[in-house]
């Protein structure tokens, strides 16, 4: 990914990206985003941006495989997460969701994945150790809880679903305290221009109403200019 585009995407929030995708596509209806309320370990941090490294986990019941198989799969998972294009995001589906109980994302795993060069994690599962997680590795999760329970890796490198958002391995993900989106591949070359157009058009409204008292006629004129600019 172009370094300028990466910096731009990290500087804007996920709702802006959703709107900009629609600007780039020239239509409403983009729907590759998470559903429901998600939690962010560092709400004021820059957005998480990167190519998805996917996996699935489970925690309610202990694994049925032998300890040797479980360990081999775990280490293969870590190897997978350490590889691939950067920037990257760990996108991990918890098969126990929406009743997930095992916190996979705590102080240990966040530091490991950050050391691998990943930008953050998007999961419908559980996070913990809030206040002790490393800076520069935000986690956007489905819930917060105290225990890791029997959490273990089921598989990795396959398509996953995070709160209604299908994510394929290698998909370009943008996530923050609002949730996550997958940016369509064909939109990427037009995304910077779309964000700029979106910012310009919204500025028309903001300049007209922020910290001001206006009448309806003034609003109507500003809104007409806004609609003309965004189309």
155 labeled binding residue: no
Nearest CA-CA partner of 30 in 161, 165, 158: 165
- Measure the CA–CA gap between 174 and 183, rounded to whole angstroms: 7
2 labeled binding residue: no
Count Cβ atoms within 10 A of the Cβ of residue 104 and give its class: 0-12 exposed, 13-18 middle, 19 or more buried. Answer: buried
Nearest CA-CA partner of 33 in 59, 15, 20, 48: 15
Task: Give the residues across from 174 on adjacent strands.
Answer: 49, 181
Q: What is the CA radius of gyration of the chain?
A: 20
Q: Going by DSSP bridges, is the β-strand pair 48-58/152-156 parallel, antiparallel, or unpaired?
A: antiparallel
CA 126 to chain centre: 15
Nearest CA-CA partner of 91 in 13, 171, 152, 6: 171
- Measure the CA–CA gap between 6 and 4, rounded to whole angstroms: 5
| Residues in binding site | 128-129
Write out the binding residues for substrate: 128
Annotated binding site for Mg(2+): 129
């Amino acid at each position: 990914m172009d370094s300028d585009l990466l910096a731009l995407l990290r500087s804007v929030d996920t709702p802006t990206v959703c709107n900009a995708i629609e600007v780039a596509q020239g239509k409403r209806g983009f729907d590759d985003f998470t559903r429901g309320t998600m939690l962010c370990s560092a709400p004021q941090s820059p957005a998480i941006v990167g190519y998805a490294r996917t996996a699935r986990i489970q925690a309610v019941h202990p694994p049925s495989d032998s300890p040797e198989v479980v360990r081999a799969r775990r280490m293969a998972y870590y190897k997978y997460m350490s590889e691939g294009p950067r920037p990257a995001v760990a996108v991990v589906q918890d098969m126990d969701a929406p009743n997930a109980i095992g916190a996979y994302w705590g102080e240990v795993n966040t530091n490991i994945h950050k050391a691998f060069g990943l930008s953050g994690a998007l999961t419908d599962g559980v996070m913990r150790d809030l206040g002790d997680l490393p800076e520069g590795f935000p986690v956007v999760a489905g819930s917060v809880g105290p225990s890791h329970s029997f959490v273990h890796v089921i598989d990795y490198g396959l398509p996953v679903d995070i709160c209604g958002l299908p994510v394929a391995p290698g998909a370009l993900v943008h996530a923050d305290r609002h949730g996550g989106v997958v940016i369509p591949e064909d939109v990427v070359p037009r995304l910077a221009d779309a964000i700029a157009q979106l910012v310009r058009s919204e500025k028309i409204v903001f300049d007209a109403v922020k910290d001001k008292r206006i009448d309806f006629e003034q609003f109507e004129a500003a809104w007409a200019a806004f609609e003309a600019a965004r189309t």
